Amino acid sequence: MRKHTLVLLALAAAGSAQAATLTVSCFTNMNQAIEAAIPLWKKQHPDVDIKVSALAYGDHHNGLTTALASGNGAGDVACVEVGFVAKFGESGGLEDLLKAPYNAKQYQSKVTGYAWAQSTNPDGGMYVFPADIAPGTLFYRADVLQKAGVTTSALTKSWDSYLDAGKKIKDKTGAYLLHNAGFLAQAYIRARVESGESLYFDAKGQPLLNSPRFVQALTLAKKARDLKLDANIAEWSPEWTDMLNKGQIATQPFGAWFEGTMRGMVPETAGKWRSIDLPEQSYATWGGSFLAIPKQSKNKALAWEFLKFFALNKEVQLNSFKVNSSLPSLKSAQSDALFRQPVDFLGGQVARPMWVRAANKVKSVESHRLESVASDAFTAALNQVLNDGKSIKAALDDAQNQLVRRLNR
C-alpha cells in the first residue's frame, strides 16, 4: 500500500507541474452537481481549478465516443450515464479503477450494491465509479385519484390492477393513466430484470428481447393502448408538460429524481403529487451516473482525488442531491436526516426513505456494451406494436434477430 501511495504522490506531483486545472467533461444536469462541488473542492485544493465542459446528453456521449477512440478531447474526468458504462469500458480508453494505483475495491462496501454491479464490466474490470443512483418509483396525482375514488393499493396491487385503476380514473375524471403506453413497458422490463442479467441481455451476454419479460411488457402496453388509457404523447414534449400541469395524466413511473425535475417543469402542481412503489412493490432503476478517468488524462492522480471527493464525500454527495435531486450512491449519505424531511412538492410526504429502501432492494443489474443498441431495437418494436399494428411476437422476434446479428459482427 505504501508503494501505491508513493506512486500516487509522484503522479500528483507530475500532474501539478503540468497543469493546475482539472478538466471534467459532462452531460447537462449532472454538470450542475459537478459545478456545485467546486467550492467544496477548492477548500481542500485551493491551487487546483476545475473546468467543466457540458453538452446535451446525446452530444456528450457521442463526443466522448470519438474522444476515447482518437485519444484526444475526453478531459481528465468524464461523466458517463449507465447505458454507456460497458461500451466505454470495452473501448480501452478508460483507466481500470480496480487496478493500482487506484485500488477501488476497498470502497465497495460504501456504495449502493446495484450501482457497484452496474459499474463492473463483464471482463471483471471497473472503468467507472458510481456517482448517483436512480431507483424507480410511481408518481401519482393525489387529487385525481381522490376524484376518481381510486386507492393507491389499486395502483400497486398488480400490473393488471394498475390498468384497472386507469380505467376507473379515465371514466370518472377523463384523465389518462399515463402519457404513453410504451413507458409502461419500459417500467415493467426494469422491474422484472433478474439478478446477474443486464436490462436486455442474460448473464451470458445473450439478447433477451423475445423472452417472456419482454412479451409481458408489450402485452401490458398494448392493453393500455387498446383501452385508451394513455395520451400517446412523448415524454419531454410540450404536450406532456401541459398535460402534467393540467392534471390530465394521473400517474408517471420514473426515477425518483423526476420529483426535482417536476419542481422546475410543472411548479404549479406542487403539493398535488405523491410517490409510491411500482406495482407489485417492484424495484427498478431508471438511470444513474458515473465518473471515469480517461487514459489520455494528463492529471490522473488529481482526477482520482476528484472522483473520490465527489463520490465518497458525504457532504459533497448531499450537496449534489440538493442541486439536481439525484440520490447519492454513497450509503452514509442516504441515512442523513435530510432524507427524513417532508418533501414539499409531494404534499409533505416523507418519500425519500422509500426511495432509499427501493434502491437497496434493486437486484444487481449488469452492464452490456450494446445497451443503447438494444434499447433502440426494443423501442422500435414498441412503436411497431403500438402504432403500426405489428404482432408482439413478430416485433420482438425481429428485434431479437437484429440484436443477435449485431452481437455476432
How much is the pLDDT for 203? 87
| Phi/psi-derived region of residue 311, left when phi > 0, alpha when psi is between -120 and 50, beta in every other case | alpha
Q: Are residues 202 and 127 in the same domain?
A: no
Q: Are residues 90 and 186 in the same domain?
A: no
Other C-beta atoms within 10 Å of 194: how many? 12
User: 239, 231 in Cβ contact below 8 A?
Assistant: yes
Task: Report yes or no on 349 lying in a domain.
Answer: no
Task: Report yes or no on 345 lying in a domain.
Answer: no
Count how many Cα atoms sit within 13 Å of the Cα of residue 311 in the half-sphere of its side chain.
Answer: 28
The percent of residues in the chain predicted with pLDDT above 90, rounded, is: 86
Tally of structural domains, the chain: 2
Q: Are residues 281 and 391 in the same domain?
A: yes
Task: List the single range of 319-328, 360-369, 374-383 with lowest mean pLDDT.
Answer: 360-369
Residue 11 has pLDDT above 70, yes or no: no
What cell was used for 318? 448531499
How much is the pLDDT for 15? 42
User: 161, 154 in Cβ contact below 8 A?
Assistant: yes
Among residues 171, 111, 175, the alpha carbon closest in space to that of 140 is found at 175
CA torsion 16-18-19-23 (nearest 10°) is -100
Task: Report yes or no on 350 lying in a domain.
Answer: no
Please tell me whether residue 121 adopts helix, strand or coil conformation.
Answer: coil
CA torsion 287-125-86-209 (nearest 10°) is -90
The percent of residues in the chain predicted with pLDDT above 70, rounded, is: 95
Please write the tens of the pLDDT for every residue from 107-149: 999 999 999 999 988 888 999 999 999 999 999 999 999 999 9
Q: Are residues 106 and 155 in the same domain?
A: no
Q: Specify the DSSP element, H or E, that contains 21.
A: strand 21-27
Mean predicted confidence (pLDDT) in 72-76: 95
How much is the pLDDT for 196? 81
Please write the tens of the pLDDT for every residue from 190-204: 999 988 888 999 989
Q: What is the C-alpha separation between 198 and 261, in angstroms, rounded? A: 27
Please write the tens of the pLDDT for every residue from 222-232: 999 999 999 99
How much is the pLDDT for 13? 46
CA terminus-to-terminus distance, the chain: 42
Q: Are residues 254 and 175 in the same domain?
A: yes
Residue 247 has pLDDT above 60, yes or no: yes
Q: Are residues 251 and 152 in the same domain?
A: yes
Domain hosting 306: range is 2-134+287-340
What cell was used for 235? 415524454
How much is the pLDDT for 195? 83
Strand partners of residue 201: 207
Task: pLDDT band for 20, please (50, 70, 90 cuts).
Answer: confident
CATH of the domain at 217: 3.40.190.10
Q: What is the C-alpha separation between 11 and 16, in angstroms, rounded? A: 9
User: 196, 366 in Cβ contact below 8 A?
Assistant: yes
Task: pLDDT band for 349, please (50, 70, 90 cuts).
Answer: very high
Q: Are residues 64 and 156 in the same domain?
A: no
Task: Report yes or no on 347 lying in a domain.
Answer: no
User: 338, 321 in Cβ contact below 8 A?
Assistant: yes
How much is the pLDDT for 317? 97
Task: Report yes or no on 346 lying in a domain.
Answer: no
Residue 6 has pLDDT above 70, yes or no: no
Q: What is the C-alpha separation between 61 and 16, in angstroms, rounded? A: 28
Please write the tens of the pLDDT for every residue from 42-54: 999 999 999 999 9
How much is the pLDDT for 14? 44
Residue 215 has pLDDT above 80, yes or no: yes
Q: Are residues 201 and 114 in the same domain?
A: no
How much is the pLDDT for 4? 46
How much is the pLDDT for 372? 87
Q: Are residues 247 and 163 in the same domain?
A: yes
Q: Are residues 233 and 330 in the same domain?
A: no
